[in-house]
Amino acid sequence: MKKTMTLFCGFFLLAGSLLAQDATVSGLKKSAERATYDDTTYKYNAKGWRKGGLFNLNLAQGSARNWAAGAERSSISVAGYSTLFANKKKGKFFWDNTLDLGYAVQRTSSVGTRKTDDKIDFYSKAGQKINDKWALVGVYNLRTQMTDGYDYNYLSKGIRRRISGLFAPAYMLISPGIEWKPTSYFSVMLSPISARWVIVSNDPYSYYYENGQIPLPDGGQETPLAALYGVNPNRKVAMEAGAYLSANFFKEVLKNVSYKSRLDLFSNYAGKRDPITDAKIGAQPKNIDVFWTNSIAMKVNKFLSVTYNFDLIYDDDVKQFGPNGNSPGTQVRSLLGVGLSAKF
């Protein structure tokens, strides 16, 4: 029990230090962990399939009065996460499929209801083993979100403008390559040639003002939603070709404590088009896109778990940051949760 309490406190101290380091992270609320993509407690059936999933639900309520540092008078947040997986093995052939879904909303006394997390992440990998450590593989990945997201202080005027939605954007990747798996809990997949599509097909302009014309005294033209993600709104799709690396780690590092990490790197060496002028832009392979997700889960009992998630994204084409809101930037989020979990 003493070890469990020490570990529990350690998670909270770690989360607190990360939240203090980045102002972007400080606004994020509690959430729950997803299952591993291949939970070994599930057994393969007669046809070679291992299927299952995990659902997590968090509910938190907060209140404050005369709090000097500033706090919401009342708030309530709800977060639900689910992971489904279906993996197949037959001889030297394998096919792993994972669908991660997540959604979280918060309601406060000052700003009302806003979502704080929203994700759809489907990852599929099929391959043929060469030997115990090497395999030829192919990867398909699709990432997007379910509902609309908003900039609630657009043009610093306190107005709300839509900046995301279902397939706005969506990232789709197809990548053949080779995988090195020296242990059961770690693998690295490398592809020298991959294709990636950035899709903004759901209302790619999403102007707040009619025809995007900002009225005086400010004046000017609004940037189309698609252009915020490096996509021309007329084309709705931007294609990139380049090298891709995906590293995956999952292990029970201590009893009832597991760590899961996935790092995706993509280097576009085929060039792209300007999202506004549609002019051809030369290749910039040194501008590497990064998607890194980390999860630590501690199982307290059959239904209760304590989890900590840390995600980092960098995409040179996503230009919504900086003092003028038109520069790329590192996106970070940290999620700490205590909630109910159930396998199925």
Q: What is the mean pLDDT of residues 202-209?
A: 95
Domain ranges of the chain: 2-343
> How many angstroms separate the CA atoms of 334 and 58, rounded?
15
DSSP string, 15-78: HHHHHHH-HHHHT-----PPPPTT-TTS---TTSEEEEEEEEEEEEEEE-SS-TT---SEEEEE
How far, in Å, CA of 202 to CA of 166, rounded? 7
Give CA–CA dist 319/328, Å, rounded.
4
Beta bridge partners of 176: 138
Under 8 Å CB-to-CB from 307, ≥6 apart: which residues?
31, 32, 33, 56, 295, 296, 297, 298, 335, 336, 337, 338, 339
Q: Which of 11-15, 49-53, 145-149 has the highest mean pLDDT?
A: 145-149
Tokens of 85: 């997986």
Phi and psi at residue 68, to the nearest 5°: -60, -40
Q: What percent of the chain has pLDDT over 70?
A: 83
Chain segment 248-265, per-residue pLDDT in tens: 998 989 888 889 899 999
DSSP one-letter string for 95-163: EEEEEEEEEEEEEETTTEEEEEEEEEEEEEEEEEESSSSEEEEEEEEEEE-SS-EEEEEETTTTEEEEE
Output the CA–CA distances (angstroms, integers) from residue 221 to 20, 205, 216, 295, in the order listed. 37, 12, 11, 41
- Higher pLDDT: 62 or 178? It is 178
As a dihedral over the C-alpha atoms of residue 225, residue 229, residue 234, residue 238, rounded to 10 degrees, the angle is -160
Per-residue model confidence (pLDDT) at position 83:
87
pLDDT at position 301 over 90: no
Q: In this model, does residue 38 exceed pLDDT 80? A: no
* pLDDT of amino acid 335: 67
Instruction: Identify whether the C-beta of residue 58 lies closer than 8 Å to the C-beta of residue 79.
Output: yes
Q: Per residue in 127-161, pLDDT tens?
A: 999 999 999 999 999 999 999 999 988 988 889 99
Predicted pLDDT at 218: 85
pLDDT the model gives residue 55: 85
CB 307 within 8 A of CB 298: yes
Q: Provide the pLDDT for residue 308.
A: 81
The pLDDT tens digits for 273-296 are 889 888 888 888 888 999 998 988
pLDDT averaged over every residue in the chain? 82
Highest mean pLDDT among 83-87, 201-205, 305-309: 201-205
Confidence of residue 232 (pLDDT cuts 50, 70, 90): very high
Q: What is the pLDDT of residue 25?
A: 32
Q: What is the pLDDT of residues 62-111, one digit of tens each?
A: 555 544 445 556 667 888 888 899 999 999 999 999 998 988 888 887 78
Residue 252 has a CB neighbour count (10 Å cut-off) of 14
Ranking 83-97, 145-159, 214-228, 319-333 by mean pLDDT, the lowest is: 319-333
The confidence band for 267, taking pLDDT boundaries of 50, 70 and 90, is very high
pLDDT at residue number 87:
93
- Of residues 69 and 221, the one with the higher pLDDT is 221
* DSSP-based helix, strand, coil % in the chain, nearest 5: 10, 55, 35
- Look up residue 277 and give its DSSP letter: T
Q: Does 2 have pLDDT greater than 70?
A: no
